[in-house]
Structure 1
Amino acid sequence: MTTATEGSSGLPDRRVFDALAGLGGYFELVPLDSAASGGLHSFAELYGTPELLDARIAWVAHRYGPVEPRVSASVAHLGFAARLVSPALAAACAGTVLDVPAASLLWREGSERVTSWLAGPYGAAAVPDGADGAAELLRQSLVERHLRPLGAAVRSRVRVSERLLWGNAAAAVGGAVQMISLKRPEWADRAAAIATALVERAPLAGLGHLVRPDADRPHRFFVRRSCCLYYRAPEGGKCGDCALLDSGTRARRWRSAMADPAV
C-alpha cells in the first residue's frame, strides 16, 4: 500500500475527507499538522499506556455510572471501535482504503464522542474490484492493526469477554453501514457488500448480520448476537442492534429510522 503524507502525490483525493466530514458523527477524519496536535493522544498510546485507557474507562463510568467495570470498559471500547471503523468503511465506499498506523491517528478525551485526526504518515490504496478484496484490505489495516490491539488493551485492564468486544467491533461495522445507507444511499450497496464480507471473516464471523427490511429502499441495519451491556447502566437502554431486543421493537425502530434519516 502506498505510503502518503499530507500534500504528497499519494494522498487520497481531498474529496474523500470532505465526504467523511459530510457524514458527521464518528466518520470525520481531519488531516492535521503535527505541530498543531497539542493536547492530543495517539491511538498507539491508547493501546500501550494503561493509565490512558484507565482514564477513559473511568470517564465513561462517571458519565453513565455507577456501573460495573465491565460495562464502562465495553462502552468505552465500543466508542473507540466506532471511531476506527466508520471512517475506514466510508473511505472504502469513496474508493480509498486507508491504512493508518496507530501513531498517526490522534484523539482527544473528555467528551461524549471521541474525535480523531490524522497527523503523520499513512497508507492509501485504491479499492480493489469486488467486496472481498476491499474486506481483506480492511481486515489487515483495520481489524489487525487497530481493533485487535484495542480489544487486547481493554481486556488487560478489565475482566470482560473477548467475544463481547469482538461483538462491539462487528456492531461498529454494522452501525457504520446503517449511517452510510441513511445519509449516502448511493453508497448503501457497496457499504453493505464490503461490510458483509468483513463480518464473515474471523474474528468477526458469527457475531451479527446486516438486514435490509425493505427491498425497495437502500437502508440497512445490523443485528448483533451479543450485547454491549449498555442496558446495565442506570440511564442505559437496549441499542438498536442489540440481541436482547424483541423483533417487534426492532422493526419499529427500523421504520422510524427510515422515516427520518436525520435521527
Structure 2
Amino acid sequence: MVDVNALRQAPARSVASALEDVAAFGSFFAVELGGPGKGWHPVGDAYADGCADLIAKTVDRYRTHELRIGASIVQLGHAARLWSPVLACTAAHGIVPDLHRLERADDGPALRLPASPTGWYAAGAPRLADLLYEVVVGRHLDALAAGLRVKVAPRLLAGNASSALAEAARAVLVARPDLRGTLTGLVGGLLNTGRLAGSGTVTGPDLSFRRRSCCLYYRVPSGVKCGDCTLAG
C-alpha cells in the first residue's frame, strides 16, 4: 500500500484546474466539482450496495436476464470514469487527483468531488504506477467488487479494469499526441501491477489493447464482441 502521507500535496486550485481541463477530453473524463448536497451520495455507499441500482437499470436497458452481464457493464463503465480523469491529470498536468471523497449521482453513474479537491504531485511518487493503482483499484474497484451481489469472475473484472485503462489512455492520446511516451510508460507500469498483471497487453504504438478475458457484452441481444476481446479472433 502506498503511504500517501509521504507524498507532496498539490494545492486544491491546481487539482481543480487539472480536472476542469481534462474534462474536455470526453464525457468519461468529467468529474463535477462541488454543488448542492442533494442528489449525491458517497461512492462507498454505492460499493457497499454493489451498485445494485445501476445494475438493475443496465439489465433492463440491454434486455438481458443475466445479472452478471449488468454487473460487468457497470463495473467497466465505472472503471472508465475513474481511470480517465486520473490518468489524464497525471499525464497532462503531473497531478494525481485524490478520489477518497468521491460521490456518485443518485440517479446515474456521474461522479463528483468537493469544490476544493485534493491530490498529489506525480513527481513525488516513488513508483507512480503503485500510486495510480491504489487510487483507482485499491480504493475503489476492489470495494465495488467486494460489494457485488452477483458472482463475477475476478479475472473478468481485472480485464474490465485494464480495458478501461487502455481506452482512457487512447482517448488522452487523441487529445494530446505529445503525451504518447508518458502514457505508454504509465499504462505499461499499471498493466504489471496488482490485479491488472496478466489481464492483457498493449499491442501497438497507438496503445491498442488485447485483453485475456471477455466482458460478456456479446451475450446481450444484438451484442457484439468488443475490439479488444480475447474472443474476437
Question: TM-score scaled by structure 1?
Answer: 0.79
**Alignment match, 1:47:** 47
> What pairs up with 1:1-263 in 2 under 5 angstroms?
1=4, 9-33=11-35, 36-50=36-50, 53-93=51-91, 94-101=93-100, 104-108=101-105, 110=107, 114-119=109-114, 123-128=118-123, 133-154=127-148, 157-212=149-204, 219-246=206-233
Unmatched tracts of structure 2, length 5 or more: none
Contact 2:69 2:217 in 1 (8 A): yes
Unmatched tracts of structure 1, length 5 or more: 214-218, 247-263
**Alignment match, 1:251:** none
* Dislocated runs of 4+, deviation >3 Å: 1-5, 8-11, 120-123
In the superposition, relative to structure 1, how do residues 240 and 109 fare at CA in structure 2: closer, same or farther (>3 Å)? farther
- Segment drifting more, 223-232 vs 21-30: 21-30
**Residues matched between the structures, number:** 228
Which whole-Å deviations, capped at 9, do the CAs of 1:181-229 have from their partners, x for residues lacking one? 122212222122111101101111000111225xxxxx22111110100
Question: Structure 2 CA distance, aligned partners of 1:31 and 1:39?
Answer: 14
Task: Tell me the amino acid that sits aligned with residue 202 of structure 2.
Answer: L
Which whole-Å deviations, capped at 9, do the CAs of 1:40-85 have from their partners, x for residues lacking one? 22211111235xx211111000010223111111111111111111
Counting aligned pairs with the same residue, the percent is 33
Task: Tell me the amino acid that sits aligned with residue 188 of structure 1.
Answer: R
1:26 is displaced (CA, Å) by: 0.6
Task: Tell me the amino acid that sits aligned with residue 64 of structure 1.
Answer: Y
Question: Structure 1 CA distance, aligned partners of 2:142 and 2:59?
Answer: 23
Q: Per the alignment, in what secondary structure is the counterpart of residue 117 of structure 1?
A: strand
Question: TM-score scaled by structure 2?
Answer: 0.88
Contact 1:67 1:232 in 2 (8 A): no
Question: Structure 2 CA distance, aligned partners of 1:17 and 1:166?
Answer: 26
In the superposition, relative to structure 1, how do residues 199 and 72 fare at CA in structure 2: closer, same or farther (>3 Å)? same
